Each structure stands twice: as C-alpha cells, then as structure tokens.
Amino acid sequence: MTAGAERTGRAGAGSEAGEAFDRRLLAPMILGAVLNPINSSIVSVALVPIGAAFGAPPSQTAWLVSALYLATSIGQPVVGRLIDLYGPRRLFLAGTALVGIAGLVGLLAPDLAVLVVARVLLGFGTCAGYPAAMYLIRSEAARTGRGSPAGVLTVIAVSTQTVAVVGPTLGGLLIAAGGWRTTFAVNIPLAAAGLIIGFLRVPGTPLPERAARERPATRLDLPGMALFAVTLVALLLFLMRPGAGHWYLPALAAMAAAGFALRESRAAEPFIDLGVLAGNVPLLLTYARTLLAYVVSYSFLYGYTQWLEEGRGLSASQTGLAQLPLFLTGILVSSLTGRHKDIRGKLLVGSIGQIMACAMLLLLHRGSAVRLLVAVAIVCGVPQGLNSLALQNSVYHQADPARIGSSAGLLRTFTYLGAMVSSAASGVFFSRRADTGGLHHLAWFMLAAGAVFLAVTVTDRSLRRIGGDTGGTSPRPGTTRARPPEERNE
C-alpha cells in the first residue's frame, strides 16, 4: 500500500475513532522545518573566517546572510501556496534535494561569489520544510478532530528555535574540526536523511484530490508571484545598500507593489488574497511583530556574534560556546511554556526580555568579564524561547486554514525581512570591523525595534482572544472555516 493510500484509509478511520496525531510525521516535519534556521545561524561564526580566507570585509560577507534571506523571503510564500494546492510531498523532496546540492556547491566554492550562490540555493531549498509542517499539522487536526495540537506546535517551535540558537555552537565546533567549509558540507548528510525520511513518511496527495486541485480555478498566479518577487528583491537590495545613490530601488519596489496589489485584486485565484489579508488585522499585526522581533533576534545572532570574535577577541569555537547559555535558556523556556495557551503573556515577557538584553549590550567592552557575556546570553535566551513559539501559534490560530501553507510562508518572509534589516544594520555599524563602538550603535537600534515591538503587543487587544476554549477551531469574523481536503474536493 502506498503512503498516500494508507493515509487516506487512516483518515476515514481517524474521523470515527478520534485517532491521535500520527507521530510518524514528526521526523520529516522537524527535519524539514529546521533546515532553514540551522543554515541561518550556523554561518554566523563562519563570517569572520570566510572574510579572512577571501580578503572580504564584513560589508561583503554580509551578503552570505542576505542571499539566503532574500531567496527564502521570496520562496516561502510561493512554495507555501504550491503546498496548499498540490500537497507537501513533491515539494518537500525537491527542496531537500536542492539543499544537498547547495551544500556541495559551498564545499567546493572557489570564491565568495560562488558561496553567495550556494546560500541562494540553500534559501530556495529550505523553503518547503516549514509550510509543509504547518500543512501536515492542519491536516492532522482536521483528521483527528483536534483543532489545537499544542503539543505538536510546541515540538516544531522548540526544534526550530533550538537549532537557530545551537547553530553558532555547532558552527564553532565544525570550524575547529575542519574549517569553515564544513558549515556548508553539513547540509549533504542532512539532505540525504531528509530525502529518505521524506520518501518513506511524507504522504502523497491522493489522485482524486490531486485532480481536483489541478482544476483551472486553482492555476498558479504566476504574474502575482513575479511581482511579489520583484517587490522584495528591490526592497531588500536597498536595505543592503541604503543611500541616495540607490533611490531607484525603493521606487521600483513601490511600483512593483502597486502592480502586485492591482493584479491580486483582479485574479480569480490570487497568490495572496489581499482582500482577506487586509480584513485580518490580527494576522497583519502578528506579521509586524514578527519583523520587529527578528530584527532584534538576528542582530544578536550576527552582530553580537561578530563582536565576540573581533571586538572581544574570542575564537570561533569560543564564540559558539559563549552562545550556549542562550541555547539552553531558550530550550528550557520553550519547554516550560509550550503548552500554555496565553499568547499575549508570552509576547509581553518576550518583548521586555529583548529590551533588557539590548540594554545589557551597552555595558560591554573589549575587556568584559566572561560572566557578563554569560548573563547577556541567558537574558537573551528568554525572549528567544518565548517569541518564536508565540508568533507561530498566533499564525496557526489567525490564518485562514485553507491557506495555512502560504500564511506560514509569509510568517517566514517577515522573519527574514527582519533578518535582512538586521544584516543591513550590522553592515552599517560594522562597516570595517565589529568593534565595541559599532556594537553600542547597533544596541541602540535594537532597543528602538524592541520598544516598538512592546508597544504593538500592549495595544493589540485581539491577542486576548487567542487561547480560549475554542482552541483555534472557530472561524474568525469575515472568514469561512476551511473543511478538510477530502471535503473541499468532493
């Protein structure tokens, strides 16, 4: 029996017997979801060694960060929409294979330009994992009748934030063992494992359902996707090189955005339904909070990490170990709070924790004691453990279930928009090297973003409605509750 047929059979039985979540899906969901954050974070301790190897300053090695986020920001909602239409299996396998190819390209790269290409491939290759995981969670919720699988959402959130934080430590150990190229080569065995697990466990889309999904009404909105891509590329390129000399980039972004809005308002099956999205203010506020939270989070991940190496004088492996308390704190906080339904409380504590951690950066200098570095990592670990989990749960409850893949993809888009803003800020404040003066300027920038994050959270009354007795299964005003795939395609 094929995976798709077996799953179809289980779906019918599950609706009658009230089956629990299929735990065989956890392995591919976790592995697919963590591929992007591990590649986002592992390179943080490799930027200085790569710059030394190719004679490139921080302003050039920053493209290794931006290239992945640019590709991911575009690819996540596109692949998420494809998953909404055609199911997760084929996209999961194709993306995982591309991750392996990117790892090989990075391992053999002769210069910085080829490394940037490898990071672009990694960005596109890792796009399928997270939307596929959210799609499978929603499908299992429909099959089992359990609308709020808090335990599974917690596992995914803990896994992604764990590897994002442990990435610098792992990267430092890999660099110490085999040089910076090992941070690319690690993707080859990860991709091999993902292909095997994905082939065996990710369910295929049953043929009747696939035929229904491929009706003309659900054809891809390619013009909308293209305009969306042009908007993001122009905007993100400007963020990397802000200045009057590049005025044409925001102008191009504005024109493409206007064209995108016009196209989506007229498309029979839009790539992003702007009408529904505009009416869903709570989801829009969640996306805004996501951008602000990750401006701060990725400034710690990249800016602070570079300062530890160049400003504080630690080696790559020592820097990775210095970030270990952040990893441990984040894991502990996520594990303790994961099943708690109160989203607003997590975001409030997380926003205050971010402000405290940013303020502590102003106390650092070249001779700062190790205990102060550990204290900074611990304080930063609290919002790291709270915010990603709370934001992910917010989208799960606020998004249209029929578009959970593309909505989850947009969450990652705003995540990496925040990362791009952070990367641009690091490039500005660390134009030549990551010294203490640059760190302090970056800290003030982070404090501003953290303050806005707190203000948006305090004033958002819709957060009080998440985590009630409905468990996220009740439709929002103005939306239609989605039916399970087998019902939608009858």
Distance separating alpha carbons of residues 348 and 342, to the nearest angstrom: 11
What does the pLDDT read at residue 347? 93
Is the entire prediction scored with pTM above 0.85? Answer: no
Each residue's pLDDT tens digit, 228-274: 889 988 887 887 777 667 788 989 999 999 999 999 888 887 888 78
Judge whether 45 and 175 are in contact, CB under 8 Å. Answer: yes
Distance separating alpha carbons of residues 105 and 185, to the nearest angstrom: 9
What does the pLDDT read at residue 19? 67
What does the pLDDT read at residue 219? 63
What does the pLDDT read at residue 205? 63
Counting every residue written for the chain, the total comes to 490
Give residue 56's identity as a one-letter amino acid code: A
Q: What is the pLDDT along the chain (490 residues), one digit of tens a residue?
A: 444 444 444 444 444 445 677 888 888 988 888 888 888 788 878 888 999 999 888 778 888 888 887 888 888 888 888 888 888 999 999 999 999 999 999 999 999 999 999 999 999 999 888 888 888 887 887 777 765 566 777 788 778 767 776 787 788 889 988 999 999 999 999 999 999 999 998 887 654 444 444 444 456 788 888 998 899 888 878 877 776 677 889 899 999 999 999 998 888 878 887 877 778 888 999 999 999 999 998 888 778 888 998 888 888 778 878 878 887 888 888 888 877 778 888 999 999 999 999 999 999 988 888 899 999 999 998 998 888 888 888 888 888 777 777 787 888 888 878 877 887 788 788 877 888 888 999 999 999 999 999 999 999 988 887 754 343 333 343 343 333 333 333 3
Q: Where are the domains of the chain?
A: 14-220+271-488, 221-270
Superfamily of chain region 14-220+271-488: MFS general substrate transporter like domains (1.20.1250.20)
Could you give the angle at which helices 281-298 and 343-361 cross, rounded to 10 degrees? Answer: 30
Task: Record the tokens describing residue 302, joined without a space.
Answer: 């990249």
What does the pLDDT read at residue 490? 35
Q: Among residues 33, 32, 109, which one has the least CA distance to residue 67?
A: 109
What does the pLDDT read at residue 207? 44
Each residue's pLDDT tens digit, 392-405: 888 888 887 777 77
